[in-house]
Structure 1
Amino acid sequence: MPSGPVLAAAANPWFSWEYLERNGADVLRFTQQHASLTVQAVLIAFVVALPLAALAHLRPRLAGPVLAGTGVLYTIPSLALFALLAPLTSTSRETVLIGLVVYALLVLVRNVLVGLQGVDPAVRDAARGMGYGRLRMLLSVELPQAVPAVVTGLRLATVSTVALVTVGVVVGYGGLGQLMFRGFRSSYHAEIMTATMLCLALALLADLVLALLGRVLTPWLRGSGAPRAVPSAREEAAWTS
């Protein structure tokens, strides 16, 4: 006859279709909450990070303070940050959203700045020879060529944000973290595993979508031979003429 531990494991499996059938509405609701928080946080962080990185690129003296400021915010422990924000915001969603935006900023600012700084000097020289001013060069030449680094930053920020959303459970708005916490409290393995697998699926799906978007936005990387990080100066001159 099966022993006690075997019976206990059978009664509390890690994978259970019955759990999904009985709790499908909760699983769907928390998955949608998790996805919407991730998308909104990354979009807001990107809208803030892009001008910050552009400013740091145009004014190199500001690069240090901008990176230092976002770096300091990034080092604040997530539990402490959410606890500090909670009394200052009107809803739990706002608390979690602000925290997620803060953590995504450093990754995005650094990657956008690296992309802008990594533009081939020959491309800049070609643009200057065509009469481009500093702002026009930034918008028409440097930002388009920084797309690979920007997409990499978006991928990193999105994947890390998917994981951080779960910490929002400390203020009662943690997406799939709510299921994880509920599963840990009740020692319900299927609930914990379901939430974990859905987090992984969201991260993988978001990363895949952004990777495909990056390929669409950077056709020069799909040419024959060794891929180049940016178009050549001759190609840039032809595109902008």
Structure 2
Amino acid sequence: MAFYDQLVTYISQNGFYIWEEFYRHFLMAAYGVLFAAIVAIPVGILIAKYGRISGWVLSFGSIIQTIPVLGFMAITMVVMGLGTTTVITTVFFYSLLPIIQNTYVGIRGVDKSVIEAAYASGMTKFQLLGKVEFPLAISVIMAGIRTALVIGIGIVAVGTFVGAGGLGAIIVRGTNATDGTAIILAGAIPTAVMAILADIVLGSIERRLNPANRSSA
């Protein structure tokens, strides 16, 4: 009961600060994924069209995933300094692989008979991509963005070590306190809630964009 009281007291006294860090945390993750999507979706389409380079691109993305997040941030910090830019850049690089991979799979997964029918109707390559392939692949691409955002939220929690703030700052503050379990949870619980909500919301959008669901609606 004492622990619960500590948690409630901390949240009641620092509610605005927690919300501010929650908002800051989400924006860093969202910006990183947004910038990654702007780059990764065209790259995914490109390697789907020219399969010979797909192995190189996907291997590059996989190599990034093997680097420890804190180590990658430390390297990035040397170039970009402390703060949010380093964290957003880290989220950007770690978001590339899931978005590129899902874009590649989505475009490659379009039924060949549909593509042949589109060509037969006189569509150009760009019309085919914009009106047939991309709409049919969008739900798969959204699944990659969904995965990237959930991963990004976790990455941003580490960003406090490079001066970016976010909910990770509250968690670290709790680890430095003598009896900081309540403070740790005040940062960890909103982080988990954010990841769960992001997964649910983007999952709902993904299902709505699924061609099978759109055709049956």
Place the TM-score, normalised by the shorter chain, in its bin: over 0.9
Calculate the TM-score normalised by the size of structure 1.
Answer: 0.83
SS at match of 1:16: helix
1:213 and 1:202 mapped to 2: Cα distance? 16
1:171 and 1:90 mapped to 2: Cα distance? 8
1:159 Cα deviation from its structure 2 partner: 0.9
Structure 2 residue corresponding to 1:204, chosen from 183, 196, 202: 196
User: Are residues 139 and 221 of structure 1, via their aligned partners in 2, closer, same or farther at CA, if it must alter by over 3 Å?
Assistant: same
1:193 matched to 2:185? The reply is: yes
1:221 matched to 2:209? The reply is: no
2:196 and 2:165 mapped to 1: Cα distance? 19
1:210 and 1:169 mapped to 2: Cα distance? 26
Structure 2 residue corresponding to 1:40, chosen from 13, 28, 31: 31
Equivalent AA in structure 2 for residue 74 of structure 1: Q
Q: What is the aligned partner in structure 1 of residue 83 from structure 2? A: 92
For the 8 Å contact 1:15–1:194, the answer to whether it is kept is no
1:151 Cα deviation from its structure 2 partner: 1.3
Identity %: 32
1:47 and 1:80 mapped to 2: Cα distance? 25
Q: What is the aligned partner in structure 1 of residue 124 from structure 2? A: 133
Q: What is the aligned partner in structure 1 of residue 172 from structure 2? A: 181
For the 8 Å contact 2:82–2:162, the answer to whether it is kept is no
Show CA shifts across 1:137-166 (max 9, x none): 122211110012111111111111111111
Q: What is the aligned partner in structure 2 of residue 5 from structure 1? A: none
Number of residues paired by the alignment? 216
User: Are residues 219 and 72 of structure 1, via their aligned partners in 2, closer, same or farther at CA, if it must alter by over 3 Å?
Assistant: closer
1:64 matched to 2:30? The reply is: no
Larger of the two Rg values belongs to structure: 1
Q: What is the aligned partner in structure 1 of residue 101 from structure 2? A: 110
RMSD, matched Cα = 1.9
User: Are residues 89 and 188 of structure 1, via their aligned partners in 2, closer, same or farther at CA, if it must alter by over 3 Å?
Assistant: same
Gaps of 5+ in 2: none
Instruction: Give the helix-richer structure, 1 or 2.
Output: 2
1:223 Cα deviation from its structure 2 partner: 5.3
Q: What is the aligned partner in structure 2 of residue 20 from structure 1? A: 11
Q: What is the aligned partner in structure 2 of residue 238 from structure 1? A: none
1:11 Cα deviation from its structure 2 partner: 4.7
1:42 and 1:71 mapped to 2: Cα distance? 17
Equivalent AA in structure 2 for residue 154 of structure 1: I
1:146 matched to 2:128? The reply is: no
Structure 2 residue corresponding to 1:50, chosen from 36, 41, 46: 41
1:11 and 1:217 mapped to 2: Cα distance? 47
> 4+ residue runs of structure 1 moved beyond 3 angstroms?
10-15
1:222 Cα deviation from its structure 2 partner: 5.3
Show CA shifts across 1:62-100 (max 9, x none): 111111111112211111111111121144111111011
1:117 Cα deviation from its structure 2 partner: 0.6
Gaps of 5+ in 1: 1-9, 228-241
For the 8 Å contact 2:82–2:163, the answer to whether it is kept is no
Q: What is the aligned partner in structure 2 of residue 232 from structure 1? A: none
User: Are residues 219 and 68 of structure 1, via their aligned partners in 2, closer, same or farther at CA, if it must alter by over 3 Å?
Assistant: closer
